[in-house]
Amino acid sequence: MKSRIRKQGKSRNKNNKQNRWVVGLHSSQQVVEVRPQSIVKALIKKGSEGEEFVPFLKEYQVDIRWVNDQELLKYARSHQGIALEVSESPEVDWDSVYEKEKSIVLILDGIVDPHNLGAIMRTAWLMGCDAVVTTQHRSVGLTPSVTKVASGAAEHIPLVIESQLPQLLKDLKENGYWVLGLAHSEKNNLWEQELANKVAWVIGSEDKGLRKTVSNECDQLIRIPQQVSTASYNASVATAIALSETQRQHSLL
């Protein structure tokens, strides 16, 4: 795979600066381990597993409020008795990312299902992605349901909100990345691709796939092989397959 001359790109960091809610035991545990001083408030149901966090929360002088099930259901259907209000989120330093010899960036073009985004973030974290980027409009953000499904990944991998994906893709290409879009009907087979050290994978929306303005900025459109041609992979499953193959090839370099 040929390489590009690296250029310094614009500094981007459009993470949501507003407080967010983290729900569930695994997600709350990661908040406690990674950014305990950012916990503003805790909602806990008496008699639930969430009570195990109380001694720690008191140590950090967190505002603890005892609530019933109905109050927690406002944040997520599955809450396990705890919700934390958090004032910080992981942020990406694009200049540092651009300097890496090997890197994976994940671009989401219109993912609207919270379960998909949560699963994608968890996979991206486990596969060593440097950032997950999503669109500002017509996309789900970092909701309590998303953090619950991500099971702690939201405390480790930045979710960047981007209003101009085509421009970001240009910046990535100027900094040595090969931008690859997943497309169901393309001829290029993932198993036959030699992937670059620096890859930006672009995943389209659940129903319409990649927008034309986004696919036009991709260096190549690639399909994941399958036996049934009349259906397609779930967005989070397709992402997991693409990231797994990328990590496999990177480990061989």
Do 107 and 218 fall into the same domain?
A: yes
Do 107 and 216 fall into the same domain?
A: yes
Assess contact for 140 and 235: CB atoms under 8 A: no
The predicted pLDDT at position 203 comes to 95
One-letter amino acid for residue 220 of the chain = Q
Assess contact for 121 and 108: CB atoms under 8 A: no
The predicted pLDDT at position 186 comes to 75
pLDDT over 60 at 11, yes or no: no
The reply to whether 121 falls in a domain is yes
Q: What are phi and psi of 161, to 5 degrees?
A: -95, 120
State the CATH number of the domain containing residue 71.
3.30.1330.30
Query: Where is average pLDDT lowest: 9-23, 114-128, 133-147?
Result: 9-23
Assess contact for 235 and 111: CB atoms under 8 A: yes
Order the strands of the 63-67 sheet from edge to edge.
20-23, 82-86, 39-45, 63-67
Assess contact for 177 and 198: CB atoms under 8 A: yes
Do 47 and 139 fall into the same domain?
A: no
The predicted pLDDT at position 7 comes to 42
Do 164 and 77 fall into the same domain?
A: no
The predicted pLDDT at position 137 comes to 81
State the CATH number of the domain containing residue 164.
3.40.1280.10
Rounded average pLDDT over 194-212? 92
The predicted pLDDT at position 13 comes to 45
Round to whole Å and give the CA distance between 245 and 224: 10
Do 54 and 99 fall into the same domain?
A: no
The reply to whether 241 falls in a domain is yes
CA-derived radius of gyration, the chain: 19
Do 177 and 133 fall into the same domain?
A: yes
Query: pLDDT tens digits for 76-99?
Result: 888 999 999 999 999 999 999 999
Assess contact for 250 and 127: CB atoms under 8 A: no
The reply to whether 14 falls in a domain is no
Confidence of residue 136 (pLDDT cuts 50, 70, 90): confident
Do 34 and 64 fall into the same domain?
A: yes
End-to-end Cα separation, the chain, in angstroms: 12
The reply to whether 136 falls in a domain is yes
The reply to whether 2 falls in a domain is no
**Domain extent for 184:** 94-252
Do 202 and 99 fall into the same domain?
A: yes
pTM here is 0.88
The predicted pLDDT at position 187 comes to 84
Q: Which of 106, 121, 127 is nearest to 182 (CA)?
A: 106
Listed residues 34, 55, 86: the one ending a domain? 86
Do 107 and 141 fall into the same domain?
A: yes
Return the SS3 of 27: helix
Query: pLDDT tens digits for 38-76?
Result: 999 999 999 999 999 999 999 999 999 999 999 999 998
Do 123 and 245 fall into the same domain?
A: yes
Do 110 and 139 fall into the same domain?
A: yes
One-letter amino acid for residue 206 of the chain = E
The reply to whether 176 falls in a domain is yes
The reply to whether 58 falls in a domain is yes
Distances (CA, A) of 150 to 5, 92, 141, 194, 247: 35, 18, 12, 30, 20
Do 67 and 109 fall into the same domain?
A: no
Rounded average pLDDT over 213-230? 89
Round to whole Å and give the CA distance between 210 and 220: 13
Rounded average pLDDT over 144-168? 93
Domain tally for the chain? 2
The reply to whether 10 falls in a domain is no
